[in-house]
Amino acid sequence: MAQSRIRAVLVVVALTAVMWLLQISRMLVPWDAASLGIWPRETDSFATILTSPFIHANWAHLLANTVPLLVLGALVAFSGLGRFAAASIIIVLVSGLGVWLISPAGVPTVGASGLIFGYFGYLVLRGIIERKVMDIVIMICVVLFYGGLIFGVLPQEGPISWQGHLFGFLGGLLAAYVLPRRERTAIRQSPYPRPY
């Protein structure tokens, strides 16, 4: 289990590194980030649901997403590589589909915010579902340090995709709900009866 956790944390770091490398590549060989973003209700951009989390509009956007992605992603990764991968896929699909369905037409959406909000939702509900001390402690810490994220799911004006935030959060809740609970470690029983 420890090796699976380490591998999962390394995957979080690797995914973040890919985002940085893509942003650097845009400086070296300029290319249109919007081409890999989600274009609402345009069927030829449906596959970009999988690419859009890796692309950011600018350096400020990437910098704003890097730390919460690393922190929340690593906390989800402590569940193990398989669970982290499954949760991430669910979050990306739900967030991307939500953006594709209800975001304003003609405006592309990029960035890892959907994943961040998804990891937040996953960690909060997982603490309630699992009822393990460590999961509850993580849930409390996440709410204390990142609880303000919840306001990002509300409709707002401007370029920020609240749709991506909302559906990312819902995707995290869904992932926490549908993924099977981790088995509790059985208490070792003595082969000898207790005297009374």
In a domain, 191, yes or no: no
Q: Identify whether 153 is part of a domain.
A: yes
Closest CA to 25 of 45, 53, 55, 1: 55
Residue 168 located in a structural domain: yes
Name the domain count of the chain.
1
For residue 141, count CB atoms less than 10 angstroms from its CB and return exposed for 0-12, middle for 13-18, buried for 19 or more: middle
Which domain covers residue 153, as residue numbers?
A: 2-178
CATH code of the domain containing 76: 1.20.1540.10
Tell me, what's the pLDDT at 158? Answer: 74
Two structure tokens written together for 8: 């999962």
Q: Please tell me the predicted confidence (pLDDT) of residue 193.
A: 53
The model's pTM: 0.89
Residue 43 in domain: yes
Residues of the chain with pLDDT under 50: 185-188, 190, 196
**Tokens 């979080």 belong to residue:** 12
What's residue 22's pLDDT?
95
